[in-house]
Amino acid sequence: ASEGRELLLNKTMTTLGKPGSQVAVINKRPNGYFITHVGGNNHPVVNGEIIGAQAYALNNQDVIELAGTKMEFHLA
């Protein structure tokens, strides 16, 4: 089980999801972290809202749902 696990976003770009199903990238930029849908029929959901094709700015404690997994984003 992955409950309670942490994924450190220490790279400029971190890929999440399941190829062929739903894939997103979280980019670290000078002005913050952004999530972008890059593959699959279903777009990621942030705080209950489906994000579009544009990069979506992440805020502390945003809840991301992707490929059947729910995770919470935390700024360190």
Is the residue at 2 inside a domain?
no
Residue 46 lies in a domain: yes
Binning pLDDT at 50, 70 and 90, where does residue 44 land?
A: very high
Give the count of beta carbons closer than 10 Å to the beta carbon of residue 3.
6
pLDDT of residue 46: 98
Establish if 37 belongs to a structural domain: yes
**By residue range, what is the domain housing residue 47?**
13-72
Asked if residue 56 is part of any domain, the answer here is yes
Order of all β-strands in the sheet with 56-57: 13-18, 22-29, 32-40, 56-57
**Going by DSSP bridges, is the β-strand pair 49-50/45-46 parallel, antiparallel, or unpaired?**
antiparallel
Residue 65 has pLDDT above 90, yes or no: yes
Could you tell me if residue 1 is inside a domain? no
Q: Specify the number of domains making up the chain.
A: 1
Residue 9's pLDDT is 87
- Asked if 61 and 73 count as a contact pair (C-beta separation under 8 A), the reply is yes
In a domain, 3, yes or no: no
Please check whether residue 64 lies inside any domain of the structure.
yes
Does the residue 8 lie in any domain?
Answer: no
